[in-house]
């Protein structure tokens, strides 16, 4: 018998024996004779049978959904007024059953100053930040307090964005933030034009008349062209016919097909060029989103966005809004705290990481989030430990430790390493 046949038969016998052992149920272990002879004590409770280990689940247990973010006790809403000069209305609401002490801050755009402030607010310049308006309020239970500001600026016709936030009494922990953009009122002539029906506007009338004239000329030209052969055929001395004679057919020319020896090299060259271009593009994109590189201009997922403080900026998964950034004064290594709003725009929970959030300094270097300081600013909670639930929104402080007296010039925020992210210019 060949050796291969003997090996196959031995393997078949071994597998058959394993199947028999698996089919035979396990027999209970026999009790020792001495133990069997002794009667059990009367007062002893019956011993439960040992529990068999449960089988593992057929499918893996799904990941637990991210817990929803708790609703803050104080909420903020900001709306622009329809006035010739920039004016904002801020509503601060306490939905709880007890009074709350809060500090409300409104960031003013660069080059703007406050001309009117309601409810005892005052304008000041924060450390490492632009001019802001601050209110110290004690909100009664289930109440809404309305604040207002009027601004002046060197460019009165440009849109102005002024976010506002409500903080805890010490001013470090944000409850909620909101933003609004004021736009200059349209001139009276533009409003009248907007109220006039579209068909009465002069450009629309001229365009309609021009269209009618072109259609009329085209119709006359077509009618005269069709009338000429009919008139020539019906004339007394005419020898033509109503239907034109068919042209003399030209001999068909055989088309020359390219040789296979020419098609194959060309196709191979095109395929090699396509693959090489794709590989080169992918290599450049991976290098562009390196965690140690400069601000990226694009990535594999989504499109990047640039904006200013108070502007909601969207990337692949999150919408980021930087409401405020303030730095400690008078230190060589100091902390800069950014109040950031994060909204998950996707139908799934999303994770994000502190190492991907950056603050770029004037010398071109950057620092990532100081996770220990960020945890302390969030009352000991690690905001990056759990993913954000689908559709949820959170307003939280991010702390960056920077060297030197100059504040960061730009913040780069992103949901993932392959996301294009957003960049916010710091005034």
Question: Which residues, including other chains, have CB under 8 Å from residue 124's CB and lie 6 or more apart?
Answer: 131, 132, 133, 134
The pLDDT profile of the chain, 427 residues, written as one tens digit per residue, is 555 555 556 656 555 555 655 555 444 444 444 444 444 444 444 444 444 444 444 433 444 555 666 678 899 999 999 999 999 999 999 999 999 999 999 999 988 999 999 988 999 876 555 689 999 999 999 999 999 999 998 888 889 999 999 999 877 799 999 999 999 865 444 444 445 555 555 565 666 666 666 566 566 666 666 666 655 555 555 555 555 555 556 666 555 665 656 666 666 776 777 776 666 665 555 554 444 444 444 446 778 899 999 999 999 899 999 999 999 887 778 999 999 999 999 999 999 999 999 999 999 899 999 999 999 999 999 999 999 999 999 999 999 999 888 889 999 999 988 888 999 999 8
Q: Which domains does the chain have, with CATH numbers?
A: 74-182 (2.60.40.290), 305-425 (2.60.40.1240)
Is 425:308 a contact under the CB 8 Å cutoff?
A: yes
Position 125 scores a pLDDT of 76
**What is the residue-wise DSSP string for 365-409?**
-EEE--HHHHHHHTTT--TTSSPBPTT-EEEEEEEEEEESSSPPS
In the block, tokens 């989030």 appear at 369
Query: What pLDDT, on a 0 to 100 scale, did the predictor assign at position 190?
Result: 42
CA triplet 137, 139, 144: central angle to 5 degrees?
Answer: 110
Alpha carbons 81 and 88: distance in angstroms, whole number: 6
Angstrom distance (rounded) from CA 289 to CA 233:
77
Backbone angles phi, psi at 306, to 5 degrees: -120, 145
Q: Which residue has the tokens 């108070």?
A: 310
Burial of 359 (0-12, 13-18, 19+ CB in 10 A): buried
The residues with which 320 forms a beta bridge, in sequence order, are 313, 342
Q: Are strands 305-308 and 422-425 parallel, antiparallel or unpaired?
A: parallel
Q: How would DSSP label each residue in 105-132?
A: EEEPPTTEEEEEE-TT-EEEE-TTS-EE
In whole angstroms, what is the distance from residue 133 CA to residue 113 CA? 10
Query: Residue 374: its pLDDT value, please?
Result: 96
pLDDT of residue 28: 46
Q: How far is CA 147 from the centre of its chain?
A: 31
**Best CA proximity match to 163, nearest among 313, 31, 43:** 313
How much is the pLDDT for 56?
A: 44
Contacts of 222 (CB under 8 A, 6+ apart): none
Q: Which residue has the tokens 């725009």?
A: 345
CA distances from 312 to 126, 175, 181, 194, 416 (A): 22, 18, 11, 29, 18
């Amino acid at each position: 018998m060949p050796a291969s046949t003997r090996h196959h038969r031995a393997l078949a016998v071994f597998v058959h024996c394993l199947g028999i052992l698996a089919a035979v149920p396990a027999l209970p272990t026999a009790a020792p004779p001495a133990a069997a002879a002794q009667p059990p004590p009367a007062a002893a409770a019956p011993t439960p049978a040992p529990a068999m280990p449960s089988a593992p689940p057929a499918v893996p247990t799904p990941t637990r959904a991210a817990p929803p973010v708790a609703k803050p006790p104080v909420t903020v809403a900001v709306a622009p007024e329809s006035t010739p000069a920039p004016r904002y209305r801020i509503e601060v609401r306490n939905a709880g059953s007890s009074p709350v002490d809060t500090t409300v801050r409104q960031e003013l755009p660069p080059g703007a100053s406050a001309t009117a402030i309601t409810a005892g607010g005052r304008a000041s310049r924060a450390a490492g930040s632009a001019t802001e308006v601050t209110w110290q309020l004690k909100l009664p239970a289930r109440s809404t307090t309305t604040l207002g500001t009027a601004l002046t600026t060197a460019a009165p016709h440009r849109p102005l964005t002024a976010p506002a936030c409500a903080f805890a009494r010490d001013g470090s922990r944000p409850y909620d933030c909101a933003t609004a953009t004021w736009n200059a009122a349209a001139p009276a002539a533009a409003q009248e034009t907007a109220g006039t029906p579209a068909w009465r506007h002069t450009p629309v009338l001229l365009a309609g008349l021009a269209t009618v004239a072109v259609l009329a000329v085209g119709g006359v030209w077509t009618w005269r062209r069709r009338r000429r052969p009919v008139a020539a055929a019906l004339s007394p001395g005419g020898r033509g016919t109503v239907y034109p004679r068919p042209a003399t057919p030209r001999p068909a020319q055989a088309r020359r097909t390219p040789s296979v020896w020419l098609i194959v090299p060309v196709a191979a060259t095109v395929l090699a060029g396509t693959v090489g271009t794709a590989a080169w593009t992918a290599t450049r994109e991976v290098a562009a989103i390196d965690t140690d590189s400069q601000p990226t201009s694009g990535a594999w997922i989504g499109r990047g966005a640039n904006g200013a403080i108070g502007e909601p900026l969207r990337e692949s998964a999150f919408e980021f809004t930087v409401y405020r950034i303030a730095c400690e004064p008078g230190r060589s290594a100091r902390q800069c705290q950014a109040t950031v709003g994060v909204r998950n725009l996707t139908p799934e929970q999303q994770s994000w990481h502190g190492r991907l959030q950056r603050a770029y300094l004037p010398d071109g270097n950057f620092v990532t989030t100081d996770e220990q300081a960020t945890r302390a600013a969030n009352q000991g909670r690690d905001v990056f430990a759990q993913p954000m639930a689908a559709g949820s929104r959170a307003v939280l402080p991010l702390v960056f430790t920077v060297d030197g007296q100059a504040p960061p010039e730009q913040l780069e925020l992103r949901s993932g390493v392959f996301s294009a992210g957003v960049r916010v210019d710091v005034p």
